[in-house]
Amino acid sequence: MKLINKTQIPDSEILELIKFAKPASVADNFTAVVKEGKNFAGFTFRYFQRFSVTMEKTTYPTIRNPLPRKGGYLTNISILNETEYLLFLLSHELQHMASRKHTEGSCDRYGLETLDRWRKAHGSA
Ligand SMILES: [Zn+2]
């Protein structure tokens, strides 16, 4: 696995989150790009083992998709801090990597499940 990190977040933290979020079926030969931008976003390449997530500056706690969004995404996802937001986006993209057939809704659900598992593991739920 190769990490291209263009943020101030330490590589070690991103690698820990990827390890925590990665479905067992995803092989390790992928590239993850983490960058900063104007919107929180994620993108998984269709024909390459590569995804990217973009982190926006915001204040926490925050809500992802407060309004309904085209494409079957879940709404009103509660995000407590930057680590959780990064974990959610990484989980979503890793679920796309697990199968290109996963819908946006199922990737968001996997992101929520991973967040829940993270909160339980770290005593914040
Ligand atoms: Zn998606």
Residue 55's CATH number = 3.40.390
3-state per-residue secondary structure call for the chain: CEEEECCCCCHHHHHHHHHHHCCCCCCCCCEEEEEECCCCEEEECCCCCEEEEEECCCCCCEEECCCCCCCCCCCCEEECCHHHHHHHHHHHHHHHHHCCCCCHHHHHHHHHHHHHHHHHHCCCC
Q: How far is the CA of 95 from the centre of ligand 1 (A)?
A: 8
Q: How far is the CA of 26 from the centre of ligand 1 (A)?
A: 16
Q: Output the pLDDT for position 123.
A: 81
Q: Which domain holds residue 59?
A: 2-121
Q: How far is the CA of 116 from the centre of ligand 1 (A)?
A: 19
Q: Output the pLDDT for position 70.
A: 94
Neighbours of ion ligand 1 (CB under 5 A): 104, 107
Q: How far is the CA of 96 from the centre of ligand 1 (A)?
A: 7
Q: Output the pLDDT for position 125.
A: 63
The total domain count for the chain is 1
How far, in Å, CA of 73 to CA of 3, rounded?
Answer: 26
The structure tokens 């269709």 sit at: 46
Q: How far is the CA of 91 from the centre of ligand 1 (A)?
A: 10
How far, in Å, CA of 31 to CA of 97, rounded?
Answer: 11
The per-residue pLDDT string of the chain (125 residues; one tens digit each, 9 = 90 and over) reads 999 999 999 999 999 999 999 999 999 999 999 999 999 999 999 999 999 999 999 999 999 999 999 999 999 999 999 999 999 999 999 999 999 999 999 999 999 999 999 999 998 76
Q: How far is the CA of 121 from the centre of ligand 1 (A)?
A: 25
